[in-house]
Homo-oligomer: A and B are copies of this chain.
Amino acid sequence: MDFKNLIFNDDKPKYVVLAEYIKEFIRKGEIEDGEKLPTIRSLVDEIDVNKATIISAYKKLEEEGYAVSKIGSGTFAKQRDFTRIIKRQYSRTFKKLSKDRIKDFIDFTGETTSAELFPIDEFKSVINEVLDRDGAEALIYRDSLGYEELRETIRRKFWNNSVSLSDILIVSGAQQGIDIVAKTIVNPNDNVIVEKPTYSGALSVFKSRRANIIEVGIEDDGVNLEELEKILKRNKIKLFYTMSYFQNPSGVTISKEKKEKLLLLAEKYDFYIVEDDYLSELIYDEKIEYIPIKKMDISEKVIYIKSFSKIFLPGIRLGYMISPKGLNDSLQLAKINTDISTSSLMQRVLQKYIDNDYWISHTRELTDVYRMRYECITKSIDTILKDKVSYVLTGGGLHLFVKIKTGRMDSVSLYNALKKENVLITPGVLFFNNGNDGLKYFRIGFSEVHCDKITYGIEIINKYI
């Protein structure tokens, strides 16, 4: 980087001009990601400005995400995430498509169960039962860990009483769980490991905490442990974020053997495993056994996050966490700072719903319906798209992650082309720290689409690949 074209003027403060000048170099890639920026002292010598101006310029670059400073080492360039633009476009798509219009689409973007399958009558009867029983008390909160009876029901029905009541914390959905974990243990420039690819909502949270995100590849039986250990040997890691069943987006489920090894690594290298269990209820392949990593966690290294929103409709916003010993006070405090507590009425409704065994029967019904759609979509892809693509046979969950093997079509162009044909998919760029890595992938969710429409949608996709 040279400064011969740097010209100050009266329109803008000097530090702004300097920051914009450096920003251009970073944007164009003439300063690379992670490259050290000139020291303050050397800049004072090279250009005619004082120290305060340079500090302000670097601070501005940091704020805008173009630089990161490390104590005792200096300031380093940081490439801005190019996927911001496509992310914004993607979320705007749904803002623009109104409720009615989206019905005309074949919508493969769904991540949750479909409204049409929700047992609204059972729900209504439970909510009235709760209001009759508790009155206005149902709308008060007392316990910031969450409604005690719900926590007891969770412990009894899902954990066979093997966890402490005080380690269970009710949250407003899994996304809030991730946010609370980040607030509690992730500080700026801490190292966080995620799977590659991973859930975009988790990436956003860690980025917003200004963590250094390190990606580790995922294989058909879970994260690549050799690659993981190499990184652990060289870096102090705060946490490893993983989805243990039907990972979003890859669809991969981690094997029992890898779970055991992962726990040993967590103990040896002293980091937390954040287990996001978002959809393990929907298992279609009977060979898949359900054992969350948390159940095997004897060293108190796993922070377990469970979403109820995927099964019990997203509008409910409910989930829970199980905290390792020693972390529950801090997690609870972060929860209070975030939104004080989760809707008390909904907690009571869910408690009754689970306790009445509606939960388990509803889950069984959903499994039957979605197993059929799963079989339908895998068959459609295998017969229509054939060798043009590859994907992991998940054996559960609500989506597949498809790799485009042939042709020059990337998933962002594919997404845009399909939108015009009223077919919606999720481009893979959303799931990688560096979006470019996801250009050959797309996610296809089958929860909102009936079988005949699945086949039709896949045929349209076939036209473009």
Contact = CB atoms under 8 A, between A and B. Distances in A.
A334 B179 CA distance: 10
B115 A315 contact: no
Given A176-B338, A338-B338, A140 B72 contact: no
Given A71-B75, A115-B137, A95 B143 contact: yes
Contacts of A115: 135-137, 139-140
- Secondary structure dominating the interface of A: helix
Contacts of A127: 127, 131
A276 to B, nearest CB: 14
Contact of A341 (B131, B139, B317): B317
B317 A342 contact: yes
Interface string A134-155: 0111111111110000000000
Given A54-B72, A172-B172, A337 B94 contact: no
A38 interface: no
A175 interface: yes
Contacts of A336: 91, 175, 201, 204
A205 interface: yes
Interface string A282-304: 00000000000000000000000
Interface string A193-236: 00000000100110010100000000000000000000000000
Copies of the chain in the assembly: 2
Contacts of A172: 172, 317, 339, 343
Interface string A344-366: 11100000000000000000000
Contacts of A179: 337-339
Contacts of A345: 315-316, 346
A73 B56 CA distance: 12
A88 B332 CA distance: 11
A118 B135 CA distance: 9
Contacts of A173: 339-340
Contacts of A73: 55
A278 interface: no
A336 B208 CA distance: 12
B95 A71 contact: no
A208 B116 contact: no
Given A115-B137, A131-B120, A339 B313 contact: no
A40 B315 contact: no
Interface residues of A, number: 70
A183 interface: yes
Contacts of A91: 144, 336
Contacts of A118: 136, 139
Interface in A41-70: 51, 54-55, 58-59, 62-63, 69
A463 interface: no
25 contacts: A51-B72, A58-B71, A62-B71, A62-B187, A63-B187, A91-B336, A99-B142, A115-B136, A115-B139, A118-B136, A120-B131, A120-B135, A120-B139, A139-B316, A140-B315, A172-B317, A172-B339, A175-B336, A175-B339, A179-B337, A183-B208, A208-B334, A317-B343, A317-B344, A345-B346
Interface of A: 40, 51, 54-55, 58-59, 62-63, 69, 71-73, 75, 88, 91, 94-95, 99, 115-116, 118, 120, 123-124, 127-128, 131, 135-145, 172-173, 175-176, 179, 183, 187-188, 201, 204-205, 208, 210, 313-317, 329, 333-334, 336-346
